[in-house]
Structure 1
Amino acid sequence: MAEAQLQQFLEKVRQLNGFIDLSEIDPGLRQELTDCSTHQAVVALARSRGFEIGQRWGEKTPAAPDPPNLLTQACPAAGEERSEVLLKLSSWRLERIHSCQACSPPDFWYDQAEHEWVVLLQGSAQIQLEGEDRPRELCQGDSLLISAHRRHRLVSTDPDPGSIWLALFWHQACEG
């Protein structure tokens, strides 16, 4: 195998691993993946989340589209949340999350293996951290650091045009 082919193979494995990691921490994505009935549907779903898993060895990488405006994309349906991977390296990923009247299911708590830092770009939201009496009220410009395995849940987000977040995820210990 030539070095160029090896690099293409390794990049495909990285993309697959990133998509798998995301599906394990995002119950909505996991359900969408479960609902896929063809390989092409899985490839399209991965692409919609910023992962290119359908490329075969020797194919040229498609040209990247212009980056979207973070605030002007269509709002998801009420009760839904849409995540999009904007940037990803082996040690971290940056996502845009658009929520519309979204909340975690009753008795559901996120318990992520990654640290997460979020900043609210638009709207407002309430996040409940386990062990705290009241949800945290966040509005435009507020940020929150959620350490790995700190259980938390989304209590509420705004109706249309929704709440828009930037979320940075990473595995290594926080330095401070």
Structure 2
Amino acid sequence: MAEAQLQQFLEKVRQLNAFVALTQAKTDVREALSACSNHHEVVALAAQNGFEIGRRWGDSGPAATQQHTSSSDQSNLLASACPPTGQERVELLIEGPGWRLERIHSCQASSPEGFWYDQSESEWVMVLRGSAKLQFHDEAEPRDLCAGDSLLIAPHRRHRVVTTDPDPGTLWLALFWSADA
């Protein structure tokens, strides 16, 4: 680990420890924390109290996310400006007969109420950065996904995006293919 990464990691741990100490010292902050239902609410509560815990270790900060390049010369799948809140940007990386590989950047995005994807293709998806909740029509609870998680979605298995991270957003890698290919 390079010294800069080590210092970034240690600062994140320091901020987390200080936030934990505050929640132990102040009943109102502890109650507010216990009322949080997801990671985004915890990050927002920490920020309201002067702590920066939202940046994931290894992220190089807001300046790095401004270095967007077009998909034809994309050299870093993690480097791009976050789309506007509630939206996502889909970039075709490569395709062939019966398949395509896409990079999807979502920012606090969700499927419209009542909408379910019902696609004829198989889809393998992986979260590269951030987190998301996916709901399958045949499952009672949404699935929590974070960086490194992947799953295979069979054709016509109805699903929807419940939520994705706010800025810097959630980055997905999605491979689609047809059974005919």
| TM-score computed with the length of structure 1 as normaliser | 0.61
Between the aligned partners of 1:90 and 1:77, the Cα distance in structure 2 is 32
SS in 1 for 2:81: coil
Identical residues among aligned pairs (%): 61
Q: Tell me the residue number matched to 1:166.
A: 173
Q: CA deviation at 1:69?
A: 1.4
* Number of equivalent positions: 113
Q: RMSD between aligned alpha carbons?
A: 2.0
Q: Tell me the residue number matched to 1:95.
A: 102
The 5 Å alignment of 1:1-176 reads 65-172=72-179
Structure 1 gaps, min length 5? 1-48, 51-64
Q: CA deviation at 1:68?
A: 3.5
Q: CA deviation at 1:112?
A: 0.4
Q: CA deviation at 1:66?
A: 2.5
Between the aligned partners of 1:73 and 1:151, the Cα distance in structure 2 is 29
Q: CA deviation at 1:67?
A: 2.7
Deviation digits for residues 104-149 of structure 1, max 9, x if unmatched?
Answer: 0000000001000000000000000111010010000000111010
**Could you say which structure has the larger radius of gyration?**
2
Structure 1 segments (4+ residues) deviating >2 Å: 65-68
Between the aligned partners of 2:97 and 2:129, the Cα distance in structure 1 is 28
Between the aligned partners of 2:73 and 2:92, the Cα distance in structure 1 is 14
